[in-house]
Structure 1
């Protein structure tokens, strides 16, 4: 079953968006090849729900991080190789000979572009494939039992098979003869097309593993351990937002007995960042990627939904409040499906008056909390909701983001504490900014 989420969640957590400088995917995108960039995007779009698959990918990343490899192939030559190999090919050897004869004739007539393009592409491809084969063989000799050994062995068998063994005997010191060109071109672009695709996919995968682990090492990320859904646990130790400089870490813990974090605190105290950090770690962990945390253990979930930046829809005639209601309805349908989900609500029903927001937040939070198979973070600045929930439910963990007053100046530590916030500094901030004096 695929991991479920939606565009709203991806936007809330800023996970995708290759043209957004602060997106999570851009943080990891140090890839050297177009194929690796496409593979990275695919990984981000398709998190995993199998414990075995998550942990195996995580182990491969850890293996590459321990090896501290630089990308071993010259990117310009690799790009030229891929361009050549992706070109149109002859359906049989006679057609290949005819095409090469035509290019040769045009060459002698002074029209050299097509001939040189194919000749140079073929030589570059032969050299690159020999380099890839040597690197794979060397890596296998160093560690034949690595988590990545199966992929390496598959490619190594192709290089050592009869169809590609001839690479070792090709003299690439000078131009190839007519018959060598015909034979090699036909083999690489027609006969061995599927095998070559396997080899290039391996190169793209190595590119991704090297790029991601370079980021992990530089940022101090670590690897999460996936557990079965039946364990129903989540522990993120010292998790932080991966895209913020000097991000303040916080710990979050949930299980079947305490499956809801009810988060309070003043505006600007860090509630949204706490929740986004939490959501990003959950998502990356289900991809098998390194996570921005000191450590993480989690039971695999079916998906994640957030309601953080819900836009109104003027074209549909939706107010902000009605858009919020529709978002909660969408998530309620998913929770009741039933699915094992992670759900994040930031400031429920902030588009209506305080009385309605209090009643709605209390009622919705209480009902959601009954779904013990799901994990929730629900934030509000209406602290009275937390006090009422504490009397009605026994499975809610209360956390708040504190504000320290230095005289009349609020200072935010961004370090979560147990309990419910009692901070009410809105009017003080208004007075500090002298808004009333400006109006008067």
Structure 2
């Protein structure tokens, strides 16, 4: 049975995989120059994989194009789409007969568009041939050899020599119907193959460029249960221009992270960073890190950006409870999915939240399978949780300057955060000054 990687729409929304006001992870990788390439990239991006060999096959397709990222690969985005429609509109049968009445169509829209399409098809063939020949000069690639032969076959129908220049292409009223029929009938299948080649190269070349220019790594992925761990070196958030890099290690024996940190310490950022890395790993894309090693997971589920549901009459706390149930109901008993819960049960009072978190963690610690990251401000739970062997206490480290003021390092380390910065942040924001202005 094929193993699948499960993810739901809430998770995709939580970690900005799809478009959002903060940008999207897809947008980082989308450097495509054609609509067809963008569509292939989108299909890859929203098709996570649950098998090691499929992930490695996708790696291979991306790595194959890395040597060619600096070779010119530019096409008219709308022009290609128009040409594909022209080629796909198959030529009807009929004998081509010239008569002098044909001379009168020289200024008709039909003649103009037909001539333009013929010339543009040849331009695409010449441009694609140039790219393929430069690639083949570096390495012998069977796919590119096949495409080169198809391009040569097509071009030889328009040019008498192998000196392929548009200036040497003479399209006129005497041959325009012949060329039109050649393209839309006899060469249509080869031309569609060539266009599909352009689109696929466009998609994978886009990923390859990002991998090289941003120094992303290709994860090492193992079969389910082989290592029982997620190990990431030098992980950073894909949206940050000057990111802080962190090392992450989750093991089977320490499968639950209890993550603490003061306001603005970076808890939400690190959990989104880990989530994005796991997702990219399972679509076979490179990851913003020095290295990543993990077993293939069953899925990724997050609870980060939840709100009250007025229509259903759900409070924030009840929405959190329903979200957690929804996540758990998507797992089977042998699942090794990663579950991430940000500020769990923040929609209720301190005592209720403490009791609820403690009970949930007790149950999760008894489930043999999923890894869990729970971020929380409720640090006094440490006393109740420290006896549970499966829990790793992780905090976002904060240092102090010479004046005793906090320095946010955004680095994860073992331990429980003890800093209390709420009042300091309120003072820093100027909210009390605004209150005083209204009083005076």
TM-score by length of 2: 0.87
* 1:119-177 Cα shifts (integer Å, max 9, x gaps): 12112202322432453355245322xxxx4543553464467x886466488514336
* 1:248-288 Cα shifts (integer Å, max 9, x gaps): 11111123222222211111110000001101111111122
Q: Is the 8 A contact 1:136 1:152 kept in 2?
A: yes
Q: Is the 8 A contact 1:84 1:125 kept in 2?
A: yes
Q: Secondary structure of the equivalent of 2:38?
A: helix
Q: Secondary structure of the equivalent of 1:275?
A: helix
Equivalences for 1:391-410 in 2 at 5 Å? 391-392=387-388, 394-406=389-401, 407=403, 409-410=405-406
| Whole-angstrom distance in 2 between the partners of 1:424 and 1:157 | 69
Gaps of 5+ in 1: none
Q: Secondary structure of the equivalent of 1:263?
A: strand
Shift of 1:13: 0.7
Q: Which residue of 2 aligns with 1:9?
A: 11
2:241 corresponds to which of 221, 240, 245: 245
Q: Which residue of 2 aligns with 1:384?
A: 380
| Whole-angstrom distance in 1 between the partners of 2:431 and 2:119 | 73
* 1:343-371 Cα shifts (integer Å, max 9, x gaps): 11101111011111111111212322333
Shift of 1:16: 1.4
| Whole-angstrom distance in 1 between the partners of 2:251 and 2:152 | 51
Q: Which residue of 1 aligns with 2:340?
A: 344
1:219 paired with 2:221, answer: no
Q: Secondary structure of the equivalent of 1:35?
A: helix
Equivalences for 1:293-332 in 2 at 5 Å? 293-332=289-328
1:360 corresponds to which of 336, 356, 362: 356
2:181 corresponds to which of 181, 186, 192: 186
| Whole-angstrom distance in 1 between the partners of 2:93 and 2:113 | 20
Q: Which residue of 1 aligns with 2:420?
A: 424
Q: Is the 8 A contact 2:11 2:303 kept in 1?
A: yes
Residues 168 and 237 of structure 1, relative CA distance in 2, 3 Å threshold: farther
Shift of 1:408: 5.4
- With 369-378 and 282-291 compared, the bigger mean Cα shift is at 369-378
Residues 325 and 157 of structure 1, relative CA distance in 2, 3 Å threshold: farther
Residues 143 and 425 of structure 1, relative CA distance in 2, 3 Å threshold: same
Equivalences for 1:220-235 in 2 at 5 Å? 220-231=215-226, 232-235=228-231
Q: Is the 8 A contact 2:303 2:323 kept in 1?
A: yes
Q: Which has the higher helix share?
A: 1
Q: Is the 8 A contact 1:107 1:115 kept in 2?
A: no
Q: Is the 8 A contact 1:404 1:411 kept in 2?
A: yes
Equivalences for 1:74-223 in 2 at 5 Å? 75-76=75-76, 79-87=78-86, 89-90=89-90, 92-94=92-94, 97=96, 108-109=104-105, 111-140=107-136, 142-144=138-140, 149=141, 151-156=143-148, 158-159=150-151, 166=157, 169=160, 173-176=168-171, 180-223=175-218
Gaps of 5+ in 2: none
Shift of 1:225: 1.5
